[in-house]
Structure 1
Amino acid sequence: MKTYSRLCAVAFGLMMTALCVVISVETVLRKLFNHSLAGVDELSGYAIAIGAPLCFTIAAIEQSHIRINLLHMRMPRGMQAALNLLAALSLAALSLYLVTFTYRTVAETQMFGSVAQTPWMTPLIWPQTAWLVAMGVFTLATVLLAVRAVLLALRRDTNALLSDFGPDAVEDELASELSDLEQRS
């Protein structure tokens, strides 16, 4: 799953780097030559729509999403494991809903042959298909994580449910931050 996460991060990084280059070219053209590419804002919207599910995927795999674990860390280990299982299942359910919504949107776009209301008049099927693929990447990751969590729960492997799906302890977060700081120095 770490490779899957890295691939999502690389795809997102390349997309954002390309967007930054296009925005920079647009800015220079406007300032120096009083000319616009007209539509860079359209590309930015597509990049966000495609990039968001990739970032969701990374956060799900790396367990880097924000959690408020004030109560979680005070609960018995069995309850913590049950909540971690519930969180994995809930995230998978959300991603299934989102990919279904995205699919319906793409199908409707294809049916009507919709185009963007911008100077480029982009056929929306192109960016929306990329959005659907990115949402599929997110859904695949969350469903695989949920299946793993269910299998761990069926085996009654509380330790793995806590370590693989639980929030980091304060000490672990501090050690990680100190390690990051040490590497940057």
Structure 2
Amino acid sequence: MQTFSRLCAIAFGVMMTALCVVIAIETVLRKLFNHSLAGVDELSGYAIAIGAPLCFAVAAVEQSHIRINLLHMRMPRGLKAATNLMSALALASLAIFLAVFTVGTVRETQLFGSVAQTPWMTPLIWPQAAWLFTTGVFTIASLLLALRACRLALQGRTDALLRDFGPDSVEDELEAELSDLEARA
């Protein structure tokens, strides 16, 4: 899963870097030559729509989404494991909801042959197909994680459920920061 996460992060990074280059070119063209590429804002919207599910997948796999650890660290082990399981199931449920919504939107776009209300008049099926693909990536990642959490819970492997699906402890975060500091020095 780490390779999967890294590939999603690289894809997002390349897409955002390319978008930054296009925005920089647009800015220079406007300031120096009073000319616009017309549609960079459209590309930005597509990049966010396509990139967001990739970021969601990375956050899910890396367990780097924001959590309120104050209550979690005070819970008994069994309740911690149960909340970790519920968290994985809730994230998978959200991913399924987003996937169903995205499929509906893409079907409607295809049915009506919708185009963007921009100078490029882009057939919306193209960016929405990419959006559907990345939403599928997030959904598959979330489902695999939820299935793994369920398997660990059914097997009674509480330690693995706590380790793999729980937030980092203060000690873990401190250790990670210190090793990062050491690597930079």
TM-score by length of 2: 0.99
Measured against aligned partners, the alpha-carbon deviations of 1:65-119 in whole angstroms (never above 9, x if no partner) come to: 0000111111110110011000000100110000000000000000000000001
- Residue 40 of structure 2 is matched in structure 1 by 40
Q: 1:24-49 CA deviation, whole Å, 9 max, x = no partner?
A: 11111111111000000000000000
Cα distance in 2, alignment partners of residues 126 and 182 from structure 1:
45
Q: Which residue of 2 aligns with 1:82?
A: 82
Aligned to 2:120, what secondary structure does the other structure show?
coil
CA shift for structure 1 position 179? 1.5
Q: What percent of counterpart residues are identical?
A: 76
Matched, 1:25 2:25: yes
* Partner Cα distance (1:40, 1:184) in 2: 37
For 1:28-177, list aligned pairs within 5 A.
28-177=28-177
Q: Write the distance in 2 (CA, Å) between the matches of 1:98 and 1:184.
A: 39
Aligned CA RMSD, in angstroms, stands at 0.6
Deviation at 1:180, TM superposition (A): 1.5
Q: Runs (4+) of structure 1 moved beyond 4 Å?
A: none
Unaligned runs of 5+ in 2: none
- What TM-score comes out, normalization by structure 1 length? 0.99
Unaligned runs of 5+ in 1: none
**Counterpart Cα distance in 1 of 2:78 and 2:176:** 26
Distance 2:173 2:80 in 1: 18
| Structure 2: distance between partners of 1:20 and 1:41 | 12
Deviation at residue 182 of structure 1 after TM alignment: 2.0
Q: How many pairs are equivalent? A: 185
Shift of 1:181: 2.0
Provide the C-alpha distance between the structure 2 equivalents of 1:71 and 1:25, rounded to a whole number of angstroms.
Answer: 48
Distance 2:181 2:48 in 1: 30
Distance in 2 separating the partners of 1:180 and 1:104: 44
Matched to 1:9, the amino acid is A
Q: 2: CA distance between counterparts of 1:11 and 1:161?
A: 29
